[in-house]
Amino acid sequence: MKLIYSIILLITLFTNNLLAQSTVEYLDVKKYAIGVYGVTGLNNHSVDFAKLKGTPNCCSGFESGSGIGLNIGMILQYPLTQEIELDIRASVLDLGADLISTQQIPISNLENSNDGDIAVIEHLISSNISTVGLNLGVNYYPLQYLYLHGGAFLGYNISGVFEQEERLISPSNRGVFRETGTRKRNELHGDIPELNSLNSFLNLGVGYSLLLNERGTFLLVPEVSFNLGLNNINSQPWKVNQITFGLALMFNSLSREYDNPINPVR
C-alpha cells in the first residue's frame, strides 16, 4: 500500500511540475520553426479482391497486408496563439506492403505427388507505392513542449508497382504445378493496374520538443502518429493505414530569451 501511495505522490508531483511549465511563454517567444524529418511507417493494407485487374491469379481472395516504409520530408511550424500553431509538411510517403493469402488444394492437382493429401499454396502480391504531397495541420500544446497533432494529407502517387507469385509451400519435399513444371506459377511484375493519381489521409499524433542547446533554437522532436487512408490505391477496394514513429531536427527561431529547462532566466 505504501508503494502505491508513493507512486501516486510521484505522479502528482510530476504532473504539477508539467502544469507549471505550461505557463511559460514557449509559443509566445517562438516566431517559427523549420526542419527536416524522417519516420518509420508500419503500413497496414486493407483489401478485398482475389486478383489485380487484368492479371491471372488463382487466389480465393486477399484481405490484408503489411509492410515497413520510410517517410521523409520538411516541416514548418508557425504559432497562432500561445497554445496552437500551424503545422505544414511536404512529405514523401513509402506505402508498400506484402499481400499474402494461403489456399489449400487437393494434392492430385500437382505433378509428382501422391493422391489423398492436401497441398498448401501461398499467394503473394508485393507492392511498392510512393506518394509525394502536402500535409496541413495544427498542433495543440496542453503542456509546454508537448503537443497533440491533427491534420490532413493530400498527395500524388508517383510510383505504384507490384510483383506477384504463387508458390507451393506444402508438401515441402514433392509436387510441382502442372502448368509450369515448377513449384511456382503466375509470376508477374509491372505497374499496379488502374492506379489512382491521388492519395489522401487524416492524421493524428503526439510529439515532444527536446531542446538541444541553451537558447532552445535547435530542437529534436520525436513523434508518434496514425495516418488513416481515405481513398483506394486503385479502382479496387484497397486502402492503406500507417502508424509512424519518427524524429524531426528543427531550427527554432525565437523573438527573445525565455525561461527554459536548460537555460533558466534569473
pLDDT digits (tens, 9 = 90+) for 128-159: 999 999 999 999 999 889 999 999 999 999 99
Q: Which three cell numbers stand for residue 149?
A: 497533432
Cβ neighbourhood burial of 82 (10 Å; 0-12, 13-18, 19+): middle
Considering the domain boundaries, does residue 174 fall inside one?
Answer: yes
Q: Residue 244: which H helix or E strand, with range?
A: strand 238-254
**Does pLDDT of 108 surpass 80?**
no
Considering the domain boundaries, does residue 264 fall inside one?
Answer: no
Considering the domain boundaries, does residue 81 fall inside one?
Answer: yes
User: Mean pLDDT, to the nearest integer, of 24-49?
Assistant: 90
Domain that includes residue 28, residue range = 2-254
**Cell 503545422 belongs to residue:** 87
Considering the domain boundaries, does residue 238 fall inside one?
Answer: yes
Higher pLDDT, 81 or 259: 81
pLDDT value at residue 114: 58
pLDDT value at residue 261: 63
> Which residues lie below 8 Å from residue 14, measured CB to CB, with a gap of 6+?
none
**Does pLDDT of 15 surpass 80?**
no
Reading phi first (left if > 0) and then psi (alpha if -120 to 50, else beta), residue 57 is in: beta
The model's pLDDT over 201-217, given as tens digits with 9 standing for 90+, comes to: 999 999 999 999 888 89
Grade residue 18 by pLDDT with cuts at 50, 70 and 90.
very low
pLDDT value at residue 11: 43
Considering the domain boundaries, does residue 61 fall inside one?
Answer: yes
pLDDT value at residue 173: 78
Cβ neighbourhood burial of 219 (10 Å; 0-12, 13-18, 19+): buried
The model's pLDDT over 47-102, given as tens digits with 9 standing for 90+, comes to: 999 999 999 998 989 999 999 999 999 999 999 998 999 999 999 999 999 999 99
pLDDT value at residue 6: 53
Considering the domain boundaries, does residue 59 fall inside one?
Answer: yes
- Rounded Cα distance between 199 and 72, Å, is 16
- Rounded Cα distance between 92 and 132, Å, is 4
Q: Residue-wise over 105-132: b if at least 16 C-beta within 10 A, else e? A: eebeebeebeeeeebebebbbbbbbbbe
- Rounded Cα distance between 6 and 15, Å, is 14
The model's pLDDT over 148-194, given as tens digits with 9 standing for 90+, comes to: 999 999 999 999 999 999 999 888 777 788 888 888 999 999 999 99
Higher pLDDT, 232 or 169: 232
According to DSSP, the residues that pair with 90 across neighbouring strands are 74, 134
**Does pLDDT of 263 surpass 80?**
no
**Does pLDDT of 109 surpass 80?**
no
Considering the domain boundaries, does residue 265 fall inside one?
Answer: no
Considering the domain boundaries, does residue 244 fall inside one?
Answer: yes
Q: What pTM was computed for the model? A: 0.82
Give the total number of structural domains in the chain: 1
**Does pLDDT of 24 surpass 70?**
no
Residue 246's identity, in one-letter code, is: G
